[in-house]
Structures are given as C-alpha cells and as structure tokens.
Amino acid sequence: MSLADSHSRQDGPVRGRPRSEAVERSIIEGVIGLLEDGVPLSELSIERIARTAGVGKATIYRRWNGKEELFVDVVRAAEPPDPELPGTSVRDDLVTLVEQLRRRGLMSRSSVLLHNVIAQMKHSPKIWEAYHAIVVEPRRRKQHEILRRGQENGELRTDIDVDVMNDIVFGPMLVRAVMRPDADLPEGLAERMVDAVLEGLRPVSSPTP
Amino acid sequence: MSLADSHSRQDGPVRGRPRSEAVERSIIEGVIGLLEDGVPLSELSIERIARTAGVGKATIYRRWNGKEELFVDVVRAAEPPDPELPGTSVRDDLVTLVEQLRRRGLMSRSSVLLHNVIAQMKHSPKIWEAYHAIVVEPRRRKQHEILRRGQENGELRTDIDVDVMNDIVFGPMLVRAVMRPDADLPEGLAERMVDAVLEGLRPVSSPTP
C-alpha cells in the first residue's frame, strides 16, 4: 500500500521536485527506447537504464524504489491517461470509466510495445504486484466510490454488494478487452454495455417474476 | 476446428472403441501423476507418457493427434464436468452455466495441479489454442444458443447483440473467478449475478431516463 500512497497522482511522478520532471521523462523514455529495441524486461537493469538516460544510478533510486516501480510508470506513460469524470450522473461516470477500459484494450492491441510489456509484466510477480498496488487498486477504489455514490443518490440499487456490482459493470468490457483479443471493441460499446447493465437484459414490457 | 469436431462429447473421448476407455483413463491418470510429481508440461513427451502408462506410443497416437490434444483432455478430466441444463427457463440455464464458472474458479484455487496446468497451458500457444477449440468455443456456442432462445421466447431483450449479451452475463463471474484470485466466490453468487444482470442495477422504483 505504501507504493500506492506514493503514487496517487495521474499525470506525473510526485517524488522529486517539479524541475526534475524532465529528468524523469528522459529516464522513462530511455526505458521505452530499450524495450522498443527488443530488450526484454528481465534484462533491463538499473545500471543499463541509467547509462541509456545518461544519469547516475542514484538519480533513478531517488525517484523510484526499484525496477518494479519504474516499470509501472513506464506502462502508465504508454497507456492512455485516466479520464476526467463528467460528474453529471453516476451513469455518465461509469460510461467514462468503461470507455477508458475499451481504449486501453484497443491500445494494447495496436501497440506492440504495450502488449509485450504487459505480457512480460504478468510473468514477474514483483512487477505485477507493484502494478496492482499503484494502478489497479486505486482504479478499483475510484470505481467503488462512484458506485457507492449511486447507491446513495438513488441511481443504483442498494441490495447488491458494491464489490459484486463492480464486476457486473466492468466485467463485460474487461473480459472483452483483455481475455478475448479477437473480439470487436467498436465505438459506442461502453455506453451500450453500461446502459444494458443498468436497465437489465429483460425486455421492458416483460413481467418480472 | 477439426480438433473441436472430433471432441464434441462431454464425458469421454469419442475416438477409440468403448472397451479402450480404461486405457485412455490410465493414460490420462499417468499424465496427472507426472504433473503431480512436479514434471512441467514442457518436459512431458509422448515417450515418457507412454512409458508411465505402460503402453506403446502408437496407442497414444491412435487416440490423440498429439501432446496438445491429450493435455486438453487432462485438464478436462481435472475440471468439474459440464452440468445438465434444467431447461425450465433461460434464466435457470444461465444460472447453471454461471454457477459452473464459479465452481471451476473454486477448483482452480483449491487444486494446485489444475492451477499450475492452466498457468502452464497459457504459455504454450499450441495447447492454449487446442483448449480454446475443444473446450472454450463449444461452451461459448452453447451460451449463445441459450441467449438466442431467450431472445426468441421473450425472456431477453432483442436490441442487444448476443455476443455483447454473452459478455454481460458471463463476464462478471469470469473476471471474478479468473482475474481476481483473491475475490470471494460464495455460494449463491451465480444466482445473484444473473438476476442482477437480468433485472438491471437501477432501483425498481426509479424512473428510467
């Protein structure tokens, strides 16, 4: 959790003062360059990254606790940034977040780099764990907040556990984007999925048992 | 697809005459024994399997086209069998299939063997492909059939694509069982998920926009 706490921002590392942002960017871009050259994650050492970026190892260690945290920032730099939530309704916020899932799915299909890095990351338990703590868990917390807001303001049923509701809202796009690499991800799908899940799959006129 | 065609049964290989079922079972059990001893999939050769089961290589090749097909049958032997569908309603059939997903999830958490074999299978594109053709695709076809029946008999809306509907119905449990290994899979969850998806997440009394 300390990893996640130190990474609560969306668009740049918090560690280090603002003037060092350029340094961080050049380190991250150095790593991306090495990965694009086909160097596997497992062969990327802090030494090599420092050499490529033209900085000392200490400069890297001042910013990241280790290779794992740095890689997570590399993946985040390659992924589309987290969107602004419209806040007009819980439904609109959910559509925005499901749409982000769709875009990440499209991106990992079209970006060989992102695709490979994510695949390699899954084979490294330490990096995968860091990615979960830094990226996945905060995302899930945000999703939970929105769903709870919906239960409070009357937009959502209160008789379904928020954790289960989360899987119901995000599971369909997640499965399609991640587990079914050949499935279509057409524009408008996020909206259709969220509305179907909110309204239910029974016909409107049908009597519910 | 020829793989799938030759494996359309649920509870035993079609190839070979009935009296050879004992031979098939002993070959499959031999493989399970080797895997339980910690031999990785990649090191299991047909030679070794034949030696363990006390049969000739030809006996194996008469029944399976290769290592890949044999492994898929090994996984199926370790998984809970496909359930009988009650057929009382599309809703009941969907609950039964989602419940099967939940049970497979529980099983791959409790069975180290199944868990490891599935993990190793994902690293072998050929075996993964065979598993998809023989197991996953027929399952998905069956799911589609049920959803289409629901659209025809008025239980389900007709304005949502069956493929999208499939992800909406099965995605939540799939994500929970496969992608969230720490998430609860309590009894009754399949029923709650299917009903929530059918009725929708909006409160019953709320006006729909």
Q: Percent of chain A scored above 90 by pLDDT?
A: 50
pLDDT tens per residue, range A96-117: 999 999 999 998 888 888 888 8
Is residue A172 a contact partner of residue A193, using CB atoms and an 8 Å limit?
yes
Chosen domain end from B78, B105, B129: B78
Residue B154 backbone dihedrals phi, psi, to 5 degrees: 85, 0
Q: CA A194 to CA A95: how far, in whole Å?
A: 6
pLDDT attached to residue B205: 62
Amino acid A38 reads G
CATH code assigned at A39 = 1.10.357.10
Q: CA A169 to CA A143: how far, in whole Å?
A: 10
Same domain, A55 and A107: no
DSSP of B54-90, one letter per residue? T--HHHHHHH-SSHHHHHHHHHHHHSPPPPPP--S-H
| DSSP state at residue A83 | P
Same domain, B132 and B108: yes
Domain that residue B126 falls in: 90-199
pLDDT attached to residue A94: 98
Same domain, A63 and A99: no
Q: What angle, 0 to 180 degrees and rounded to 10, lies between the N-to-C axes of helices A90-110 and A162-174?
A: 40
Q: CA A22 to CA B172: how far, in whole Å?
A: 41
| DSSP state at residue B156 | S
pLDDT attached to residue A111: 84
Q: CA B159 to CA B153: how far, in whole Å?
A: 14
Question: Which helix H or strand E contains B29, and what residues bound it?
Answer: helix B21-36
Burial class of residue B163 (count of CB atoms within 10 Å of its CB; 0-12, 13-18, 19+): middle
Same domain, A27 and A118: no
pLDDT tens per residue, range A127-157: 888 888 988 899 999 999 999 999 999 999 9
Q: CA A161 to CA B140: how far, in whole Å?
A: 28
Of B160, B169, B175, Cβ closest to residue A167: B175
The torsion defined by the Cα of A158, A162, A165 and A170, in degrees rounded to 10, comes to 140
Between chain A and chain B, how many beta carbons pairs sit less than 8 Å apart? 124
Q: CA B129 to CA B141: how far, in whole Å?
A: 16
The yes-or-no verdict on residue A88 having pLDDT over 70 is: yes
**B158 in contact with chain A, both atoms CB, cutoff 8 A:** yes
Is residue B47 a contact partner of residue B67, using CB atoms and an 8 Å limit?
no
pLDDT tens per residue, range A153-174: 999 999 999 999 999 999 999 9
Of B170, B179, B200, Cβ closest to residue A198: B200
Instruction: Give a yes or no: residue A1 inside a domain.
Output: no
Q: Answer yes or no: do A174 and B179 touch at CB < 8 A.
A: yes
Q: What is the CA radius of gyration of chain B?
A: 20
Give the number of other Cβ atoms within 10 Å of residue A191's Cβ.
Answer: 17
Question: Which helix H or strand E contains B5, and what residues bound it?
Answer: helix B2-5
pLDDT attached to residue B183: 93
Which residues, in sequence order, are CB contacts of B22 under 8 Å at separation 6+?
Answer: none
Same domain, A67 and A97: no
CA nearest to A91 within chain B: B202
Same domain, B119 and B188: yes
Amino acid B133 reads A
Give the number of other Cβ atoms within 10 Å of residue B46's Cβ.
Answer: 14
How close is the nearest chain B Cα to the Cα of A109, in Å?
17
Same domain, B97 and B194: yes
Same domain, B96 and B73: no
Q: In Å, how far are A48, A68, B13, B104 from B25, measured between CA atoms?
A: 53, 45, 10, 21
Chosen domain end from B54, B78, B102: B78
- Residue B171's closest CA among A79, A196, A7? A196
Instruction: Give a yes or no: residue A85 inside a domain.
Output: no
Same domain, B68 and B104: no
ipTM value: 0.82
The yes-or-no verdict on residue A191 having pLDDT over 80 is: yes
Same domain, B188 and B117: yes
How close is the nearest chain A Cα to the Cα of B28, in Å?
28
Instruction: Give a yes or no: residue B205 inside a domain.
Output: no
pLDDT attached to residue A51: 92
pLDDT tens per residue, range A58-80: 999 999 988 888 988 888 888 88
Q: What angle, 0 to 180 degrees and rounded to 10, lies between the N-to-C axes of helices B112-123 and B90-110?
A: 100
Instruction: Give a yes or no: residue B105 inside a domain.
Output: yes
pLDDT attached to residue A22: 86
pLDDT attached to residue B3: 39
Which residues, in sequence order, are CB contacts of A144 under 8 Å at separation 6+?
Answer: A162, A163, A166
Same domain, B16 and B117: no
Q: CA B97 to CA B169: how far, in whole Å?
A: 10
Average pLDDT over chain A reads 86
Q: CA B154 to CA B90: how far, in whole Å?
A: 10
The yes-or-no verdict on residue A209 having pLDDT over 90 is: no
pLDDT attached to residue A205: 62
How would you write the pLDDT of chain B (209 residues) with one tens digit per residue? 333 334 444 444 444 444 578 889 899 999 988 888 888 888 888 999 999 999 999 999 999 988 888 988 888 888 888 889 999 999 999 999 999 999 999 988 888 888 888 878 877 888 888 888 988 899 999 999 999 999 999 999 999 999 999 999 999 999 999 889 889 999 999 999 999 999 999 998 645 55
pLDDT tens per residue, range A22-51: 889 899 999 988 888 888 888 888 999 999
Residue B75 in tokens:
């996984």
**A193 in contact with chain B, both atoms CB, cutoff 8 A:** yes
Is residue A108 a contact partner of residue A115, using CB atoms and an 8 Å limit?
yes
pLDDT attached to residue A1: 35
Is residue A12 a contact partner of residue A21, using CB atoms and an 8 Å limit?
yes
**B122 in contact with chain A, both atoms CB, cutoff 8 A:** no
Instruction: Give a yes or no: residue B103 inside a domain.
Output: yes
Helices (H), chain A: 2-5, 21-36, 46-53, 57-63, 67-78, 90-110, 112-123, 125-131, 137-153, 162-174, 189-199
Chain B residues whose beta carbon lies within 8 Å of the beta carbon of residue A201:
156-157, 160, 165, 168-169, 197-198, 200
Instruction: Give a yes or no: residue B148 inside a domain.
Output: yes
Same domain, B167 and B192: yes
Chosen domain end from B48, B78, B108: B78
Instruction: Give a yes or no: residue B176 inside a domain.
Output: yes
Residue B41 in tokens:
């999939």
**A122 in contact with chain B, both atoms CB, cutoff 8 A:** no
Instruction: Give a yes or no: residue A157 inside a domain.
Output: yes
Domains of chain B: total:
2
Of B189, B199, B202, Cβ closest to residue A155: B202
Is residue B169 a contact partner of residue B142, using CB atoms and an 8 Å limit?
no
Residue A62 in tokens:
């001042």
